[in-house]
Amino acid sequence: MSDWRRIDIDAYDPESGRLNREDLIPSYPNQITLQDLQPTISQLRSFANSGDINSAIQLATSDVPYNTDEQTKLQYVYAVLEVLVQVRQADVINIIKGLNSQQQDSLAKFLYKGMSMPEGQKNGGILLSWFEKLTQVAGVTPIVHYLSDRRTV
Amino acid sequence: MSADRSVQSIFKLTKAPIYSHCFSADKSILAITHENECLIYRMNDSSQPQLVGTLKNHDKTVTAVDISVHGRIITCSQDRNAYVWEPLSDGTYKPTLVLLRINRAATAVQWAPNGYKFAVGSSARIIAVCYYEHENNWWVSKHIKKPIKSTINCVSWHSNGVLLAAGGTDGYMRVFSGFIKGLDTKESVANSPWGDKFPFGSLVREAYQGAYIHDVQWRSNVEQVAYVAHDGTLNILDANNNVSSINAPDGLPFKTLLWINDNEILCGGYSRHPVLFSRASNGWKFAKDLDKGSGSAEQEPAVTSNGEDEEENQTFGISALRKFKELDLKGKVSTNTKESAHDNAIAGFVPFVESNGHVQQVSSCGLDGKVVTYNI
């Protein structure tokens, strides 16, 4: 019995009821659709086009859509990524300093998400520079929050 | 040497991590978890605690230990069992197995304030509330199951002995009723702000945190319950469901907390030093760090002056030594960093000296095998 840790003890207990991924995600009273989100996304694009990255980041991180499906989340992330990569290096630190701690946590989520997918990796250097400045300003707190938060972007 | 005199004493007891420790009511006996055993020490004034006993019935890691007001020790383990250890007159302990009826590890244990029942948290998504039945000469285990979704990490009894707070890896802090007929009276929960009726196992409150809850503790006289989570927050819930939440100043999660008085909470965890929070008019705020290890800047001038002395000597051997010392310094700010008393995460706090509901000295155990006492 050296490999007792590998025994699937739930198989011997019909009442056990396995823990699902869904069990751990907080339940939301209502779901947001892509249509609901479209005004925010176009607002983000227009901020980005006019070069007002600060306002765009403020908007993107203030009301993050958690209560929606993966496809819609992805559209939102693409829009935020477009904003993130258009920043001038010199502005990054002041933009981050202008965020409150919840917004900094949200920013960390977008950075991790961006770095995890090819669309973000194309501009990995810029995302890493955001990340570097974020940890300079806020320490490891946004990272710890990202790792432990079940509300994902 | 250092301005921070909060560390009272440091006892390096084992090489293995200490997950849990506790003292008898008169603080003469210290019990710690050590691998598959529980070690019993007698406390001496100012010197190293003396090992007086080893409780070794468990065959897997002991996860938690607690001592009742009557001196009975309860241990629980990953072997899914708990033992009650009755102190005998010759200083030894008589074990009684408690059948918890769980199919996964027991993770946390606490005696109720009256010492006649205890609660065990487990990975089987069950809290076992156990009490002694005289007719059968047997510890009976009653289960609280719903709506626990994952491992329970911590349990805490309200001073009324009925309300039981528990937190776990499903990200919920929950308050249950641990009311045992014949043991508890309805008078003890009369006029409780937490509800009217408390049948055994009923869910009284639920607070979603999202991250693993590592520790929870009641402050009964102000009817509040505090809990720390893996996202590095300290949260305080009152009977009206108001939650006050504050982040760890270092960002690293806390593993344990202790109410110092009605308005102060001490937290400890992966930052290896205790952190004190206090209640302000607009919620809780960070008060101070205790025993925070740091690269001490004030020591640096001394180093350079030493360097000058060496240069005056012009001895070849010493200048070579200096050269190596400088090489060794690469990547560091200074050699004179002051380390905190714990070398690894703090796993648990218990009060050590207490008067009028105010804790003056705290004892902590850590994954480095140390027990450290701090002045507040």
Residue B138 has pLDDT above 80, yes or no: yes
What CA–CA distance (Å, rounded) separates B176 from B53? 35
Question: Which two tokens mark B370?
Answer: 């140390």
Mutate to test the interface with A, among B61, B101, B103 (most CBs of A within 10 A): B103
User: What are the tens digits of pLDDT across the range B13-33?
Assistant: 999 999 999 999 999 999 999
Residue B234 has pLDDT above 50, yes or no: yes
3-state secondary structure of A53: helix
User: What are the tens digits of pLDDT across the range A40-89?
Assistant: 999 999 999 999 999 999 999 998 999 999 999 999 999 999 999 999 99
**Closest-CA distance of chain B to residue A147, Å:** 8
Q: What is the pLDDT of residue B330?
A: 63
Query: Which residues in A lie closer than 8 A to residue B211 (C-beta atoms)?
Result: 148-150
Nearest C-alpha neighbor of B98 from the set B134, B74, B122, B123: B74
**Closest-CA distance of chain B to residue A141, Å:** 4
| Beta carbons of A140 and B230 less than 8 Å apart | no
Q: Assess whether the previous peptide bond of B147 is cis (omega < 30° from 0).
A: yes
User: What ipTM, to 2 d.p.?
Assistant: 0.86
Instruction: Identify whether the C-beta of residue B275 lies closer than 8 Å to the C-beta of residue B248.
Output: yes
Contacts of B160 (CB under 8 A, 6+ apart): B188, B189, B192, B220
Q: What is the pLDDT of residue B304?
A: 37
What CA–CA distance (Å, rounded) separates B205 from B349? 25
Computed over every residue of chain B, the mean pLDDT equals: 90
Nearest C-alpha neighbor of A98 from the set A139, A63, A58: A58
Domain ranges in chain B are: 7-293+340-375, 294-338
Mutate to test the interface with A, among B61, B101, B149 (most CBs of A within 10 A): B149
Residue type, B300: E
Q: How many CB atoms are closer than 10 A to CB B252?
A: 19
Domain ranges in chain A are: 30-148
Phi, psi of B50, rounded to the nearest 5 degrees: -105, 125
| Beta carbons of A144 and B212 less than 8 Å apart | no
| Beta carbons of B210 and A151 less than 8 Å apart | yes
Provide the β-strand partners of residue B225. Answer: B218, B237
Which letter, b or e, does each residue of A19-49 get, where b requires 16 or more Cβ atoms within 10 Å of its Cβ? eeeeeeeeeeeeebeeeebeebbeebeebbe
**Closest-CA distance of chain B to residue A52, Å:** 31
Contacts of A121 (CB under 8 A, 6+ apart): A114, A115
Q: What is the pLDDT of residue B307?
A: 40
Q: What is the pLDDT of residue B61?
A: 97
Q: What is the pLDDT of residue B1?
A: 41
Q: Does A8 touch chain B (CB under 8 A)?
A: no
Q: Does A29 touch chain B (CB under 8 A)?
A: no
Contacts of B172 (CB under 8 A, 6+ apart): B149, B206, B207, B208, B209, B213
Phi, psi of B280, rounded to the nearest 5 degrees: -110, 180
**Closest-CA distance of chain A to residue B210, Å:** 6
Query: Which residues in A lie closer than 8 A to residue B210 (C-beta atoms)?
Result: 26, 148-151
Q: What is the pLDDT of residue A102?
A: 94
Instruction: Band the pLDDT of B277: cuts 50, 70, 90.
Output: very high
Which CATH architecture group holds B7-293+340-375?
7 Propeller (2.130)
The number of C-beta contacts closer than 8 angstroms across A and B is 51
Q: Assess whether the previous peptide bond of B199 is cis (omega < 30° from 0).
A: no
Instruction: Identify whether the C-beta of residue B100 lies closer than 8 Å to the C-beta of residue B130.
Output: yes
Nearest C-alpha neighbor of B170 from the set B217, B127, B136: B127
CA dihedral B212, B215, B218, B222 (to 10 degrees): -70
Provide the β-strand partners of residue B203. Answer: B176
Q: Which residue is associated with the tokens 């907390």?
A: B257
CATH superfamily assigned to domain A30-148? Actin-related protein 2/3 complex subunit 5 (1.25.40.190)
**Closest-CA distance of chain A to residue B371, Å:** 27
Residue B298 has pLDDT above 50, yes or no: no
Distances from the Cα of B124 to the Cαs of A18, B145, B169, in angstroms? 11, 9, 12
Query: Which residues in B lie closer than 8 A to residue A23 (C-beta atoms)?
Result: 149-150, 170
User: What are the tens digits of pLDDT across the range B209-226?
Assistant: 989 999 999 999 999 999
Q: Which residue is associated with the tokens 């202790």?
A: B258
**Closest-CA distance of chain B to residue A74, Å:** 22
| Beta carbons of B232 and A141 less than 8 Å apart | yes
Q: How many CB atoms are closer than 10 A to CB A71?
A: 8
CA dihedral B309, B312, B317, B321 (to 10 degrees): 40
**Closest-CA distance of chain B to residue A24, Å:** 6
Nearest CB among B171, B251, B252 relative to A150 is that of B171
Q: Which residue of B has its CA nearest to A27?
A: B208
| Beta carbons of A151 and B232 less than 8 Å apart | no
What CA–CA distance (Å, rounded) separates B364 from B256? 9
Strand B93-98 to strand B358-366: parallel, antiparallel, or no bridges (unpaired)? unpaired
3-state secondary structure of A72: helix
Phi, psi of B133, rounded to the nearest 5 degrees: -105, 115
Residue B302 has pLDDT above 60, yes or no: no
Question: Which two tokens mark B5?
Answer: 């005199």
Q: Which residue is associated with the tokens 């639920």?
A: B206
Q: How many CB atoms are closer than 10 A to CB B168?
A: 27
Residue A16 has pLDDT above 90, yes or no: no
Q: Does A5 touch chain B (CB under 8 A)?
A: no
Cα Rg for chain A, rounded, in angstroms? Answer: 19
Report residue B77 CA to chain centroid gap: 16
Mutate to test the interface with A, among B80, B228, B230, B275 (most CBs of A within 10 A): B230
